[in-house]
Structure 1
Amino acid sequence: METTNKKTAYNSNIKCEGCIAKVTPHLNELIGEDQWQVDIGSPSKTLTVEGDVSEADINKALQKAGYWAKKA
């Protein structure tokens, strides 16, 4: 049986490696390691999340580190 992971993209204000380091523990706790990534090279600083996690839960985790995300 094949499983597919839902991927959702968010625009964010995570703009550098230091920012990623700040949000990593919070996102890993919520989503899990290797279940998210940030493209800091994109103009919208795209956060891509695998799995079924709500935008509200993602923002709660990010706000702990002073960041936000909005569904792209």
Structure 2
Amino acid sequence: MKTLKFKTNIKCGNCVATVTPFLNEAVGEGHWQVDIKDPNKTLTTNTETATLADIRQAIEKAGYKAEPLS
């Protein structure tokens, strides 16, 4: 399983609720989390099959932005 991290503009619990169905579909329920207390609003995913592009597309479908962190 690989861990991918993204800087996002997901800033509150309601934002997390909005992206939940999109991320659950892309990477699976329980395989992602957003640290809304972190200044970068870091999204961390653990996935075997989803790519950076898949996850970024899921976030954008929900109306948010995500940039990969190195």
TM-score (norm 2): 0.89
Coordinate RMSD, CA, aligned: 1.0
Spell out structure 1 runs of 4+ moving beyond 4 A: none
Whether the 8 Å contact between 2:4 and 2:52 is mirrored in structure 1 is no
Unaligned 5+ runs, structure 1 = none
Bigger Rg, which one: 1
Measured after TM superposition, the shift of residue 51 of structure 1 is 1.2
2:47 is matched with 51
Amino-acid identity (%): 50
Unaligned 5+ runs, structure 2 = none
Measured after TM superposition, the shift of residue 8 of structure 1 is 1.4
Measured after TM superposition, the shift of residue 29 of structure 1 is 0.8
